[in-house]
Amino acid sequence: MSNHVDADTVQTRDSTSLRGSLWGFATTVLAVLYTAVFASTAAACAALGWPRAIGGLGRLWARLIIGTARVKVEIVGVERVKGLKSYVLVANHQSFFDIFAVLACMPGYTRFVAKKELLKIPIFGYALDRGGHVIIDRQHGGRAIRKALETAKENYPICVFAEGHRYNDNSVHPFNDGAAWLAIMAGLPCVPLSISGSGAFFPREAKFVVPGKKMRMVVGEPIPTENLVSADRSALTKRLEQAVKESFVTEV
């Protein structure tokens, strides 16, 4: 065995690793800059009462980050939501890139169900609150329903990450029933969405992106809720969870 060949192989790997690390660092820094600029612009649009402009800014922001990271997003079944004006998109959650991919690739200007703690982030929280997103406050659940109804009337899809937070173990965890309850109360169809691969390049608590990777989204068949009542939310949640598990893959 030639020691020269082994050394060349190690040097190539080290060089590739170094380039990837520098690229990931640069991508992360640029993503922070994009966020600062777009959040400030979105906050100004919110103050002026221009919610549609916020939707367009969100899509451009997401596409810039995905493009900078050279992440390829494969999406399957998007034709299933064509013709739907508003619906509740129910997904698993592995990475912040899940949010970027939904904003960049799904039809319409998606709004998200978000925890009230995000409102504390300067500028970003203001834009989030004034941009038509549904803020969850456990002490004021009725407020979330009213906001969801307002969002539905504006024909925005509403995205809920039903596991409650991001997971790093490359699997789908039990869904909370909040998404099903919200859809039933608002009279909106539910659409399951599986997201695979994003945890491999920017998992929870990661500091830098691993660029040049791939993720996959599969849009399931819409489930109507017109004839359902609050007591049906557990069964609907299990149905949504099963649909996401069936299309989720561990390798992309």
Where do the domains of the chain lie, and which CATH numbers do they carry?
3-247 (3.40.1130)
pLDDT at 10: 36
**What's the predicted TM-score (pTM) here?**
0.86
pLDDT at 182: 87
Confidence of residue 224 (pLDDT cuts 50, 70, 90): very high
Q: For residue 83, is it left (φ>0), alpha (ψ between -120 and 50) or beta?
A: left
Q: Per residue in 187-209, pLDDT tens? A: 899 999 999 999 999 988 888 99
Q: What is the mean pLDDT of the chain?
A: 86
Cα separations in angstroms, 177 against 95, 122, 157, 195: 21, 30, 18, 19
Work out the percent of the chain whose per-residue pLDDT is above 90. Answer: 58
Q: Per residue in 77-123, pLDDT tens? A: 999 999 898 999 999 999 999 999 999 999 999 999 887 777 777 66
Please calculate the CA angle 66-72-75 and round it to the nearest 5 degrees. Answer: 105
Q: Using CA atoms, how far apart are residues 188 and 45, in angstroms rounded to an integer?
A: 27
Q: Per residue in 123-165, pLDDT tens? A: 677 777 777 788 876 555 566 677 777 777 778 899 999 998 8
